[in-house]
């Protein structure tokens, strides 16, 4: 039961949906009511406010990092560092997906997952981010990049960290990312998933 002192705060922190918070602060439509309906940075970008999308991305990433960092720091003081770290990692991610403050309707968790990975190990986070960048650069498909990075994150953890608990926790997070992207997966299989257009080169004057 003692571990709940790490898990519950992490879940509550994850439940802070920054897309909704930022949209209210900027006087923008609720991101759950337009576009893809996903309260995340990509859907916030559809409002035309890049600053709002950037704040959403930073907030979602930061809460994942902070929850794991605090759990590791205080868990070490009580001799439960590993259990607190990975328990908080799963809890903050579940909070983002199913936020208690916003009707349990959350985002897909990619930015929060990256924050979690960076807090566990900067090298793990960077390897996963590099995977996203490479796949996105080749395909211009954000969902495929996210799914590729999610699939490889537990593999990277096996090499960089090892141990049953880290691999189990990160595999669970990866499976949840796949579940939240099930609509994208269907569109990828049918060739209907949208791509991000490459920025057009500026014409010489």
- For the record, the structure tokens of 79 come out as 């001799």
- The whole-angstrom separation of Cα 9 and Cα 71 is 9
Count CB-CB contacts under 10 A for residue 172: 16
pLDDT tens-digit series, residues 137-194 = 999 898 999 999 999 999 999 999 999 999 999 999 999 999 999 999 999 999 888 7
Specify the residue for token string 């909704």. 20
pLDDT tens-digit series, residues 62-85 = 999 999 999 999 999 989 999 999
Specify the residue for token string 């595999």. 171
Q: How many CA atoms lie within 13 A of 109 on its CB side?
A: 31
């Amino acid at each position: 039961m003692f571990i709940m002192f790490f898990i519950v705060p992490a879940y509550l922190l994850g439940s802070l949906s920054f897309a909704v918070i930022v949209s209210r602060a900027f006087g923008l439509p609720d991101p759950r009511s337009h576009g893809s309906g996903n309260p995340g940075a990509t859907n916030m970008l559809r409002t035309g406010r890049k600053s709002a999308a950037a704040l959403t991305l930073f907030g979602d990433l930061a809460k994942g990092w902070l929850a794991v960092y605090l759990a590791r720091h205080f868990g070490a003081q009580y001799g439960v560092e590993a259990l607190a770290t990975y328990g908080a990692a799963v809890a903050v991610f579940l909070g983002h997906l199913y936020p208690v403050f916003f009707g349990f309707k959350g985002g897909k968790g990619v930015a929060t997952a990256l924050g979690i990975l960076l807090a566990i190990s900067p090298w793990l986070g960077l390897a996963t981010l590099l995977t996203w960048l490479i796949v996105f650069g080749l395909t211009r498909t954000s969902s495929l990049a996210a799914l590729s990075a999610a699939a490889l994150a537990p593999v990277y953890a096996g090499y960089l960290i090892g141990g049953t608990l880290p691999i189990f926790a990160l595999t669970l997070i990866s499976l949840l990312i796949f579940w939240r992207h099930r609509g994208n997966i269907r569109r990828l299989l049918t060739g209907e998933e949208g791509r991000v257009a490459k920025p057009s080169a500026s014409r010489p004057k």
